[in-house]
Structure 1
Amino acid sequence: MKMSNFNESASNLTLGLIDQNTPMKASLIVTPSIVFLYVNGVMIFTLRKKAVFQEMSRYILFGHMLWVDTLSLIFSLSVYICAVCRFLIIRNICLFLLVSAKALFHVSILNLSLMSLERYVAICFPLRHAEFTSFKITHTAIVVVWVLGLIQCLSEVIIFYSFDSANTVLNSFCTRIILFRLQIYKSIDIAFTCIFFVLVSFVIIFTYASIAAVAKTAACDKLSAKKANKTVLLHLIQLGLGAMSILVGVVQEAIYLSTNYLTAINVMYFCFVVFIVFPKCLSPLIYGMRDQAFCCLFKYYFTFGKGKVKPVLIELHV
């Protein structure tokens, strides 16, 4: 009886969300998302225009982050547009959108640890940086990240089709709260989220402390170490935003049952914009603009070849 009331409440809230969404609110999400999808596309194009960008580990990992954040933004927009346009979503399609979004989220978080480790090797082991971050090793690490990121999703898909394989239409907003109703899903989600965040937090904090310690020695390039520490600090901030985005699901579940529709709509909208859409839009731009060699070439392609391009000089350890 309680689950029935929950589903009814969730469905009613969805209808309220659709009716109350003004064009201004929708444009605040869709317009910047489209703009930043274009920005990400230009960045990916830029990375493919220079051989050095495809060979160095930090640019390979940056390109991987661009692809993951772009796909994640596309899936988030797809779910949002389906709700606004009142599309009836087939359960299998909803399942694909939700597990894909979760996999991309985990891969994005794990990729931060790879980027931090690359900076750690560049500063703490400069003479062996090329050996430890070779093309083959970097791509192997990316494959491992994807395998780890897909474990939870594959587990959820197996459980889903084992217990409920009916291909019915969902007349409500496509969300994990409605589709994954069994307690085992929540337990799996909490377990994997805790494991990944503890692991990545440890890696980022360790690399930050190690780089800071090396920066105090006379043998270290102070400028390079300072820039590397700022990069790792950005990774830590992005990890924090990722942790806050997890709370969106908790907030949704709480407001479904404890608040009025208008309050619930406003809270959900705020969480979606602040913790899901904008971090995916801004983080690639921040990283890209901090790299001098990449930035000037990006500006050239972003302005359709009308900008001035300086020679691409790659600092190996910055």
Structure 2
Amino acid sequence: MANNSSLLVSNAPLRRTINDRVILVQVLVALFLCTNLMLLTVFFMKEVFYTSMRYILFANTLLSDCVILIVTNILLSMSYFQVTTQMWLCMIFVAVSSLYNFVTPVTLTAMTLERYVAICLPLRHGELCSSHRALQLILIIHGLSIIPCVVVMLVFFIAVNFRVYNQYTICSVEMFIVHSWQGHLRSAISQFYFLIMCITIVFSYVKIMKVAKAASGENKKSTGKGLRTVVLHAFQLLLCLIQLCCPFIEAAVLQIDLMLFINVRYFNYIMFNLTPRCLSPLIYGLRDEAFFHAVKYYVLCGMCKNKSLGFTI
């Protein structure tokens, strides 16, 4: 990636072209961060939210998205302006980026399972989905999410000399891929994770759909909303899965044309990095009735009449 970065900044006209796009990215990142922080504030304002697994997991995705937006934005800006940093500091940035790149999709999978339990096993929902278990689940999510990063970093530790950590470089995850098989291993682990996530979502969808067919009245409406939520989670995971293929596509395009590479890379970042991070606020900040009324109440400083904040699916 360092070589790619050099190509991107070596030509003045290209730099001016990218500059407008970088500004747009900054605006989008700022907009998404403000939205997420507002929703997190609302989350902590009502006990009904931070004592429910459903909303705790939602808050975890918001925190994860905020971290990944900030870190990737810093790395993008450093790459664009060719700002070098010591390898040990780059390692921290890459480790955090790698960790939270997985936290969001793994949390989405956990949220899908929570919907499955709520709809298909309602009598056990209170036992299995308590706030205490939610905190334990978040620890498990972070433990699973850090495994791909640990694998890459362990190989790097073994392969390089300690003097490398004091060297300055343009920071990117590719700096820690010292063997070609290491990159293939990282890709294989990521694809395995997303395969398990996809199987989990399909399983939950099929089970909820069976309950929806047998339900009637309010139960049918409730399970219908649950199905739509699972479908939206699946769409988010699809975007995250496509993101895994982006580096391979970009590497192939770079061999063809530099300007095409720039355009493809810009499109990939907007569509498959930023877009999945803005869907969570849309799904829960607007679709969830209780959360929507709470947001509306606090945004308008209590001027509108607040409705009962019950749980909705």
TM-score for the superposition, normalised by structure 2 = 0.91
Native 8 Å contact 2:253 2:261 kept in 1: yes
Match of 2:237 in 1: 239
Q: Is 2:11 aligned against 1:13?
A: no
1:250 corresponds to which letter in structure 2?
F
CA shift, 1:275, in A, is 1.0
1:227 corresponds to which letter in structure 2?
K
> Aligned runs of 1:127-142 on 2, under 5 Å?
127-142=123-138
Instruction: Work out the CA distance in 2 between the residues paired with 1:307 and 1:22.
Output: 44
> Aligned runs of 1:65-80 on 2, under 5 Å?
65-80=61-76
Match of 1:205 in 2: 202
Native 8 Å contact 2:39 2:295 kept in 1: yes
CA shift, 1:219, in A, is 6.4
Instruction: Work out the CA distance in 2 between the residues paired with 1:39 and 1:75.
Output: 17
1:40 corresponds to which letter in structure 2?
N
CA shift, 1:111, in A, is 0.8
Q: Select which of 139, 143, 148 maps to 1:147.
A: 143
Could you say if the C-alpha distance between residues 264 and 307 of structure 1 is closer, same or farther in structure 2, counting changes exceeding 3 Å?
A: farther
CA shift, 1:92, in A, is 2.0
Match of 2:269 in 1: 272
Q: Select which of 279, 284, 288 maps to 1:282.
A: 279
> Aligned runs of 1:185-204 on 2, under 5 Å?
185-204=182-201
CA RMSD of aligned residues (A): 2.1
Match of 2:52 in 1: 56
> Aligned runs of 1:1-318 on 2, under 5 Å?
9-16=3-10, 19-164=15-160, 165=162, 166-167=164-165, 168-170=167-169, 172=170, 174-218=171-215, 221-256=219-254, 258-303=255-300, 305=301, 307-315=303-311, 318=313
2:280 corresponds to which letter in structure 1?
S
Q: Percent identity?
A: 28
1:210 corresponds to which letter in structure 2?
K
1:32 corresponds to which letter in structure 2?
L
Instruction: Work out the CA distance in 1 between the residues paired with 2:215 and 2:173.
Output: 53
CA shift, 1:284, in A, is 2.4
Instruction: Work out the CA distance in 1 between the residues paired with 2:206 and 2:235.
Output: 15
Could you say if the C-alpha distance between residues 88 and 121 of structure 1 is closer, same or farther in structure 2, counting changes exceeding 3 Å?
A: same
CA shift, 1:70, in A, is 1.0
1:72 corresponds to which letter in structure 2?
I
2:59 corresponds to which letter in structure 1?
G
Instruction: Work out the CA distance in 2 between the residues paired with 1:82 and 1:307.
Output: 44
Could you say if the C-alpha distance between residues 212 and 128 of structure 1 is closer, same or farther in structure 2, counting changes exceeding 3 Å?
A: same
Match of 1:3 in 2: none
Q: Name the SS for the 2:178 alignment partner.
A: coil
Instruction: Work out the CA distance in 1 between the residues paired with 2:31 and 2:222.
Output: 32
1:37 corresponds to which letter in structure 2?
L
Could you say if the C-alpha distance between residues 279 and 309 of structure 1 is closer, same or farther in structure 2, counting changes exceeding 3 Å?
A: farther
1:12 corresponds to which letter in structure 2?
S
CA shift, 1:83, in A, is 2.0
CA shift, 1:176, in A, is 2.6
Question: Any stretches of 5+ residues in structure 2 without a counterpart?
Answer: none
CA shift, 1:86, in A, is 2.7
Higher relative contact order (CA 8 A, sep 6+): 1
Could you say if the C-alpha distance between residues 82 and 9 of structure 1 is closer, same or farther in structure 2, counting changes exceeding 3 Å?
A: closer
Q: Name the SS for the 1:246 alignment partner.
A: helix
CA shift, 1:107, in A, is 1.5
CA shift, 1:47, in A, is 0.4
1:154 corresponds to which letter in structure 2?
V
Instruction: Work out the CA distance in 2 between the residues paired with 1:302 and 1:119.
Output: 28
1:34 corresponds to which letter in structure 2?
A
